[in-house]
Structure 1
């Protein structure tokens, strides 16, 4: 029984839109930290640099998630969505509802660990 990919396409596109919004919101936090020693104390600069590092790490995670979403959308377009890339068996629909970017069935994913 083939899985209807349309609800999953919708979920993936919504997630892409949410990632775009998160990028827009966090743009200021990823800017280089200005080291104005007169107006900002040393600890405040360290805090600002840590905040920048966290914002950049979040940006990297969003980039990885975008790649996974793009791959899932490509599988939808090619008719391969919902099938394990390793063994070719169907991926349980419940797993895909949890994470529509999954590309492996439970058994193959467990074997890769």
Structure 2
């Protein structure tokens, strides 16, 4: 018969819970940042600035906007 060390199981459960909590928090942070990016894109649409790079003012290629509608920079400026 195998006996379980209840303290070890409890520690693992706490570690698992902490890891799950950290992952949920990180996921919520990513969702919040994406929501901010999309709101900023909607603001650019309302201002007539959507589709133009916020750094250089050039057009952001349509294909880039198709892939990421919240893109606010052209490829050159985004690359740095």
| Alignment TM-score, normalising by the size of structure 2 | 0.84
Match of 2:54 among 64, 77, 85: 85
SS of residue paired to 2:52? coil
Uncovered stretches (5+) of structure 2, i.e. residues with no partner = 1-5
- 1:97 matches 2:80: no
Match of 2:18 among 49, 52, 57: 49
| Deviation digits for residues 74-100 of structure 1 (CA, Å, limit 9, x no counterpart) | 001111000011111110000000001
Runs of 4+ in 1 over 4 A off after TM superposition: none
Q: Find the aligned partners of 2:56 and 2:19 in 1 and give their Cα distance.
A: 43
Instruction: Note the residue ranges of structure 1 that are not aligned, 5 or more in a row.
Output: 1-36
Q: Residue 66 of structure 1: which of 26, 35, 42 is its match?
A: 35
Aligned residue pair count: 73
Structure number with bigger Rg: 2
RMSD value, Cα: 1.5
Highest RCO, 1 vs 2 (Cα 8 Å, sep ≥ 6): 1
